[in-house]
Structures are given as C-alpha cells and as structure tokens.
Amino acid sequence: MAIEPVSDALPCGRSRAELWEHAAAGRLDDHERTCPYCQEAAGAYEPVRRAGAELAARPVRPPAGLAAGVMRAIRGQLVPGRPINLPAPAGSRLTVSETAATALLAAAADNAPGVSVRDCRFPDPDDPTSVEVTAVLRAGHTAPESAAEVRALITEAAATMLGLAVDRVDVAITDLDDSADRRS
Amino acid sequence: MTTTAGTREEAALLARARTGDTAAFEVLVRRYEQPVFRIAIRLLDQPDDAADAAQDAFVTAWRRLRSLRDDRTFAAWLYRITTSRAMNIARAKPRTAGLDAVPHTAVRDTAPGPEQRAIAADLGSALAAALRTLKPAQRACWVLRELEGMSYEEIAAMLDTTPDAVRGRIHRARVHLVEVLDEWR
C-alpha cells in the first residue's frame, strides 16, 4: 500500500491528527472553525465522518442460529464443574464433579412418565441435598404427579449411587408439549 | 454500560454459570449476541467469519469464566475476547479477500479511481470497501473508536497495547481513509 506520507502539521501550526480527532467527534474549536487550513483539512475528513456515521447506523442482526450454536458447542464440551461433597468417613473427603452428579440425576428424572428434563442442578453446590429440575411436560400427564415421580427418582438415584440424602427437589416446568405422547 | 440492578442480576447469572449452569450462561449469550456479532462483523465483513468469531468468543468466555475477576467488567471482557478472535481470523486472510462474496466490491488498489466510485453504491459501502484495505490492527482501532465509540484507553485494553499506539493507528487509518474517500468530497 503506497500511502503518500502526510505531514502532520498544518501551516497554521495545528496538528492534523488532533484536528481530525476533533472533526470525528464533531467538536472543532474556535480556531479550527475559522482557520482556512483547518477548514480544508476538516473538509477532507468529512466524507470519512459521514460514511462512518452511515455505517454505524446500519442495523446489524446476528444470524438466527448463533445462540443455539454456542449452547450446543458448550453443552458438548462441558467441563467437570465444581467438586460436590458427598458423605464420607470422618477425616476424609469424597467428592463428585457437579456435572457428573447433575447428569446422573437428570437422566434418572428423565425416566418419569411425560417428563423431558432440560436442566438439573444444585442451586447451592455447597448443599447438594437440594436439587432443581427444569423440564418439559408432555400432553397426557399431570404436573403434580410427574413432579412427584421426578422427586422419587432423583432421591433414589442420589441415595443409591452417591449416598446422598436429597431432601428437596424443586421442579420447574418451562414448557408444555401438547403434541401426541411419543413415549409410554 | 449497565445499571446497578442489571449488574447485580448479571453477577448472579455469572455465579450460576461458573458452577456449570448452562441455562444461566445462555441468558448471557442471548443478551450479548447482538453486540458481539456486531463487533465481529465490523472487523471481518463476512457474516460466516463473524458468526465463527462470535461463537468462538462465547465458548472461550464460558471456558474462562473463572478467570474473570470483576463481574462488572463482563461485557468489556467479552468484547475483548471477541476482538481478539476476530483479529485472528482477519490476520489469517489476505486483506482484500472475499471479493466475490461481498455485496459491494472491495477496492483492490488504494488509489481511488472512477471504477471504484461506480462500484460502491453509496458512501457507507465505499467506506466498508476501504476498511478492507487497512491492516487488521488499524482497522480494529478505527472501528472500535468510530463505530463502537470506545475511548483510546478502552481500545488499548481491548487490543493489549498502549493508548499512544492506538492513537497512532487511528491516525494512520484516517490518513488512508481520507485518501480513498477523497472522490466523495
């Protein structure tokens, strides 16, 4: 790119860099507004300023699948998450990774009739006796009954596999699927 | 940037995301996909490249969430990652690449000629074409300053350089853009 070297100082002593800075911001000072050299240099910047304003005003819309793609990538490479403390003999420590534990519980809850688990987590990872499940409920099932199933399955899986006494399972139904039940 | 209440709510989402809560992070992804994509496309032109940079930025942010010390700086931190991803893509490409895919043909030569004026449909498109001929670092400085409205200090932090270096790059970008857009005076 052959760019002619541009002398920065204008004949009036002002610097072109500073003048363009002011022109870009639309804040010419008194001298710059009246000095012919400054006026000439400011005029040269005007198309860039106008074009910049035009570009800046153009609406930019992210592609429709961007967020979904990000979430797919993230869920596909989940990091182990925090270590969750499990009951252990005095003087020793037993932990399970949060991701492994919530994946186990989510899979168990998914066996409840009519329920598709979207998310399963420990609201407070320091207290794994409380679990929160987000799920979709399919047509033909009743929310309280399905939630009771979810609670029972999670409590059982936590006790048998992790030795964990879960005493609270909150279920949030975030969507209702009223298409025909695809599962028995 | 954000209100105090917004910052508190964001800190809560970040705290949940750090524990591996993907749903909490998804709220942040949906909240920031517009500005992140906007910065990326302003540095890259091509929607596919910009989408790649944006996705890469979010996935990187997710992986590095624990290294974010101050939750109030999440947006700036995310934009910094975005800029860095976009610059990597930009540096890997020849500067006037992608001529066929862009709606308005880029300038092949820095000398403004009549063919260039005939090709660029409007002043904004002429500038978009001119931006493609800048070095990625100059372009990034100019774009972050003039289109994103950032200060020299913010841009310097974003690009891991000094405010003086940013000032120099912006001026060199301006010299070049003034020359290319001279025909539009």
pLDDT digits (tens, 9 = 90+) for B139-175: 999 999 999 999 999 999 999 999 999 999 999 999 9
Chain B residue with minimal CA distance to A126?
A: B19
Among B83, B70, B72, CA closest to B36: B83
Structure tokens at B135: 């070095």
Cβ contacts of B127 on chain A, cutoff 8 Å:
48, 51-52, 54-55
Q: What values do phi and psi take at B122, rounded to 5?
A: -155, 175
In one letter, which amino acid is B20? G
Tell if the CB–CB gap between B47 and A47 is shorter than 8 Å: no
Q: pLDDT value at position A181? A: 40
Tell if the CB–CB gap between A63 and B37 is shorter than 8 Å: yes
Describe the crossing of helices A66-75 and B22-44 by its angle, rounded to 10 degrees.
130
Tell if the CB–CB gap between B123 and A50 is shorter than 8 Å: yes
How close does chain A come to B153, measured CA to CA in Å? 15
pLDDT digits (tens, 9 = 90+) for A41-51: 999 999 999 99
Cβ contacts of A74 on chain B, cutoff 8 Å:
22, 25, 58-59, 62
pLDDT digits (tens, 9 = 90+) for B8-45: 778 888 887 887 788 889 999 999 999 999 999 999 98
Tell me the average pLDDT of chain A: 86
d(CA B25, CA A103): 17
pLDDT digits (tens, 9 = 90+) for A73-129: 888 766 567 889 999 988 899 999 887 788 788 878 888 888 877 778 898 888 899
pLDDT digits (tens, 9 = 90+) for B42-58: 999 889 999 999 999 99
Structure tokens at A52: 């910049």
Q: Is B146 helix (H, G, I), strand (E, B) or coil?
A: helix
Cβ contacts of A47 on chain B, cutoff 8 Å:
123, 178, 181-182, 184-185
d(CA A145, CA B87): 54
How close does chain A come to B30, measured CA to CA in Å? 6
Tell me the average pLDDT of chain B: 83
Long-range contacts of A162-168 (CB under 8 A, 24+ apart): A162/A86, A162/A96, A162/A101, A162/A104, A163/A86, A163/A87, A164/A86, A164/A87, A164/A128, A164/A129, A165/A87, A165/A129, A166/A128, A166/A129, A166/A130, A166/A131, A167/A129, A167/A130, A168/A129, A168/A130, A168/A131
The strand pair at A130-138 and A115-121 is best described as: antiparallel
Taking one residue from A and the other from B, the number of pairs with CB-CB distance under 8 angstroms is 131
Best mutation target, B13, B18, B19, B46, to test chain A (most A CBs within 10 A): B19
Q: Given a cut of 90, is residue A177 above it in pLDDT?
A: no
Chain A residue with minimal CA distance to B107?
A: A1
* pTM of the complete model: 0.64
pLDDT digits (tens, 9 = 90+) for B86-119: 999 998 887 664 343 344 333 444 444 444 444 5
Q: Given a cut of 60, is residue A23 above it in pLDDT?
A: yes
Chain B residue with minimal CA distance to A17?
A: B171
Residues A133-153, mean pLDDT to the nearest whole number: 91
Tell if the CB–CB gap between A70 and B29 is shorter than 8 Å: yes
Cβ contacts of A58 on chain B, cutoff 8 Å:
124
Q: pLDDT value at position A184? A: 38
Kindly give, in sequence order, each residue whose CB lies less than 8 Å from that of residue B132, ignoring residues fewer than 6 positions away. B45, B95, B96, B102, B106, B107
Q: pLDDT value at position A1? A: 46
Structure tokens at A73: 């990538």
Cβ contacts of A125 on chain B, cutoff 8 Å:
19
Q: How many CB atoms lie within 10 A of CB A117?
A: 21
The strand pair at A94-97 and A168-177 is best described as: unpaired
pLDDT digits (tens, 9 = 90+) for B110-125: 444 444 444 567 888 8
Q: pLDDT value at position A117? A: 76
- ipTM of the complex, rounded to two decimals: 0.80
Tell if the CB–CB gap between B167 and A81 is shorter than 8 Å: no
More confident residue, B19 or A66: A66
How close does chain A come to B132, measured CA to CA in Å? 12
More confident residue, A16 or B116: A16
d(CA A2, CA B112): 12
How close does chain B come to A84, measured CA to CA in Å? 10
Q: Name which of A85-94, A147-156, A162-171, A172-181 the model is least confident about.
A: A172-181
Chain B residue with minimal CA distance to A61?
A: B34
Q: pLDDT value at position A183? A: 43
Cβ contacts of A75 on chain B, cutoff 8 Å:
22
Tell if the CB–CB gap between B26 and A71 is shorter than 8 Å: yes
